[in-house]
Amino acid sequence: MSALRIFNTMTGRKELFEPLTPHHVRMYVCGVTVYDECHLGHARGAVVFDLIRRYLEYRNFDVKFVKNFTDIDDKIINRAQQQGVPWQALTLRYMEAYYRDMSRLGVRAATVEPKATEHLNDIIILVQTLLEKGVAYQVGADVYFAVERFPVYGRLSKRKLDDMQAGARVEVDERKRHPMDFALWKGAKPGEPSWESPWGPGRPGWHIECSAMAIRHLGETFDIHGGGEDLVFPHHENEIAQSEAATGKEFARFWVHNGFVTVDQEKMSKSLGNFFTVREIFEKFTASEAVTADVLRFFLLSTHYRSSMDFSDQALRQARSGLNNFYDLFQRLEEVRDVTGSGDAQVPSLIASFAAAFEQAMDDDFNTPAAFAALQTFRSDVNTLLRAVISSSAAKQALEVFRKYGQILGLFQVPLKEWEFRDTESRDEAALDEAEIKRLITARQQARADKNWAEADAIRQQLAEHGITIEDRPDGTTRWKR
């Protein structure tokens, strides 16, 4: 197995990955702020880091994966007020929606899934440490981090402090010593939730929550910190500043960020009407596109995780078509009878070649497009062997390889009968039903037996006009599919 190299946003290059503790990986990924349904961007991030975790485990690392919930935040408070519901009820509703969506996506639960509100004591201790070290200051009931006291601020995002502009969630406040100073603790406002602290009632800032949870569950320095590329600045930049200023140690060794998702080449936006939640994707497209976890994961992983990708109806159809080719092969592998196959001798070498290509791709910064290419090559090779005839044991061996490596990607786990059922699309009244298809195939077989080739070709053409393809097998049977 080759060495694993991961692109580190901090250094801007791929680096050899070796965890701090041999055979153990500690990874933190910023989770969702639970004030709304998960959208397509959340889906991509969840699937990407689920994949990374799965591959690290495949490489025999013991992975402690922490993914948090931000369950107190300005957006949560505002949404709860808009809906006239307690903020706790709002966060509970959207945490349940999150788990529903992750289940649909085939995303495994993290090792630890902490909530910010469960770590108020950790947060308060961290803020107090920053005050004692002189890198934070109090203004009334608020506490701010002084970015000028952290000389390497901007190192992750490659920004210079003098050139920075206030980003998302950075409030303009004349009481701040520098415009980019950010809130560690916010004093209580009427009608808002608050907790007691040495600076009076209030609540934590967004950035300090993640630092406190990461340090609490993974230690002051850990291996991988991940999230969407929109979090590089200011969120991850601020996490680094406050964490390293408090501990004097490197916070995370590798910073990993997934790219954006656009819709039909446009940025996702509710105003443009192209903003899709995970729930909408499964409910809107399931009838017409037969969307399953396999289909959506196949689509989301078909582009390298660091690149932006475009979502469209056509992209889903292509993903479904690509998976159909694999499941069609799986069906034919399961149908192989126990005979001595002339192609059996080639199976072990093809498996070894595929495994090497797959691992080489994934070791190169989790290059899923290259891994998919290896799978496609293996599928083509196995198809060729089927024409040469292989035994049932060799067919089973090949099928197990697809399942094993598909599991790393979260693919190929649907039972064949269930997949075929889900692949059935709505048809118009002129569509052929299964009984009629079988009748025509029987008639074609009789025509072939009578050497009536014109009639056999005419029936094949009739089936094709209704979207039915047929395949004559070496054993004399005929398979069909829509």
Question: Which amino acid does the sequence have at 112?
Answer: V
> pLDDT tens across 417-472, in order?
888 644 444 333 345 667 778 878 888 888 788 777 777 777 877 777 666 778 77
> Quick one: how far is CA 242 from the chain centroid?
28
Range with top average pLDDT, 8-17, 160-169, 319-328: 8-17
State the pTM of this model. Answer: 0.86
Q: Is the dihedral of CA 115, 216, 171, 45 positive or negative?
A: negative
pLDDT at 337: 80
> pLDDT tens across 276-291, in order?
899 988 887 654 556 8
Of residues 145 and 422, more confidence is placed in 145
| C-alpha to C-alpha distance for 316 and 68, rounded to whole angstroms | 30
> pLDDT tens across 239-263, in order?
999 999 999 999 999 999 999 998 8
Confidence band (pLDDT; 50, 70, 90) for 32?
A: very high
CB 214, CB 121: distance < 8 Å: no
pLDDT at 317: 85
CB 145, CB 130: distance < 8 Å: yes
| C-alpha to C-alpha distance for 341 and 117, rounded to whole angstroms | 62
Phi, psi of 92 (to 5 degrees): -65, -45
Structural domains of the chain ordered from first start: 5-259 (3.40.50.620), 263-422 (1.10.730.10), 434-481 (no CATH)
Average pLDDT over residues 313-339: 88
> Quick one: how far is CA 50 from the chain centroid?
6
